[in-house]
Amino acid sequence: MRAMVLHGQREPLRLEERPDPRPGPGQVQLGVHACGVCRTDLHVVDGDLHEPKLPLVPGHQIVGTVEGRGEGAGRFAVGQRVGVPWLGWTDGECRYCRSGRENLCERARFTGYQLDGGYAETAVADERYCFPIPDGYPDLQAAPLLCAGLIGYRSLRLCGDAATLGLFGFGASAHIVCQVAVHQGREVHALTRPGDRETQRFALELGAAWAGDTEGGSEVSDPVEARVRAGLEAAIIFAPAGELVPVALGAVAPGGTVVCAGIHMSDIPSFPYEILWGERTLRSVANLTRADGEEFIALAPRVPVRTEVAEYPLERANQALDDLRAGRVHGAAVLSMANAQAERKADG
């Protein structure tokens, strides 16, 4: 198979021909159709996340077809389409696993970080952590559901029943969360980099009530009164920028929650206690549980969540990462292995 492989952090991935990975006990072997490119992949490649397995095949939003099953694996049929998310393995016995919080498992292993992922034509995964992909979602459109959608959904749930919601940073995850939040009847305010009118218009198309930049200006929506801007009931920060934390805290009302959705963020500047006072909550969200995945995968077709995808062939993974780093991706970047899968079919 061909794979894009990381040999050292802060180096480009290398295109390599490798033997197909074989499924171990309890694992499925997948012919990969598509793999989403997540900001977390960037943090792994750029060295913000430490000690990845090396060499490593990144990628943790994998959509593929079951082609083989290891000993004891029987959850999915050969030919079935499944998704592989970030959470790849847990020990099932630590205090977190035993209390329904496997996302915090002390020995968790993550796909595309400690385990080889989906920037490849073939992947293997522990079947217990895979999800069936709902019919009706094309491969490319389904891939971003597996992390951008899932983690976004977990972040949204941590906002409780907030009726007005700010989304800081409007990329792969926010564009999905926006649709779910609107479906739930919430009022969404989308905040982007200053002057990014294209993304602001995109947010309005997806049902946001207001879109503008993080400094409060907007060229696509009516100005929002300061009173309203300081009155959001919750905010989720998707951008990896610590300086947005005081901005978001300043925009939520007493009792409101600010959720930091990313796995890595630049340092948070100090801020006056006044903007945390009033029982505002500041928290992060970490990883996912399988229950989050099952809930979200069932919900997505009912919304229905429509994902906007920028497609790259597998061998252009470095370009996809560069575009994501530079903020040039509209919606979600996804690697496509369609050509490879067509060839495999032709070969029988």
Instruction: Report the relative pairing of strands 14-17 and 2-5 from DSSP bridges.
Output: antiparallel
Alpha-carbon gap, residue 255 to 241, rounded angstroms: 23
User: Quick one: which of 66, 73, 82, 105 contacts Zn ion (CB under 5 A)?
Assistant: 105
Fill in the per-residue mask, 19 to 58: x = in contact with Zn ion (CB under 5 A), - = not in contact: -------------------x-x------------------
Nearer to Zn ion, 90 or 289 (CB): 90
Angle at 6 between CA 323 and CA 28, to 5 degrees: 100
**322 Cβ contact partners less than 8 Å away, ≥ 6 residues apart:** none
Instruction: Output 97 or 142, the one with its CB closest to Zn ion.
Output: 97
What is the SS3 assignment for 291? helix
Report in angstroms how near the CB of residue 57 gets to Zn ion at its nearest.
Answer: 15
Window of 5-13, 147-155, 169-177, 279-287 that interacts with Zn ion by CB under 5 A: 147-155
Q: In angstroms, what is the minimal distance from the CB of 5 to Zn ion?
A: 19
Binding test (CB under 5 A) with Zn ion, winner from 1, 44, 56, 97: 97
CA angle 295, 147, 10 (to 5 degrees): 165
In which residue are the tokens 């029987």 written?
74
Pick the closer one to Zn ion by CB: 101 or 306.
101
Which of residues 5 and 97 has its CB atom nearest to Zn ion in the complex? 97
DSSP tag of 320? H
Q: What's at 312, amino acid-wise? A: Y
Told to check if 94 binds Zn ion by CB under 5 A, we report yes
Q: Does 261 bind Zn ion (CB under 5 A)?
A: no
E strands along 18-168, which residues? 27-37, 62-69, 81-84, 87-89, 109-110, 122-126, 131-132, 164-168
Residue 87 CB, nearest approach to Zn ion (Å): 10
100-108, 230-238, 293-301, 329-337 -> range binding Zn ion (CB under 5 A): 100-108
Among 124, 146, 147, 150, the residue binding Zn ion under the rule CB under 5 A is: 147
| Contact indicator for 168, 232 with CB cutoff of 8 Å | no
Size of the site for Zn ion (CB under 5 A): 8
Which are the contacts of 60, defined by CB distance < 8 A and separation ≥ 6? 36, 38, 40, 41, 84, 85, 86, 88, 110, 111, 112, 113, 117, 118, 146, 147
Question: In whole angstroms, how close is the CB of 90 to Zn ion at the nearest point?
Answer: 5
* Smallest distance from Zn ion to CB 118, Å: 11
Q: Is 91 in the site for Zn ion (CB under 5 A)?
A: yes
Name the site residues for Zn ion (rule: CB under 5 A). Answer: 38, 40, 90-91, 94, 97, 105, 147
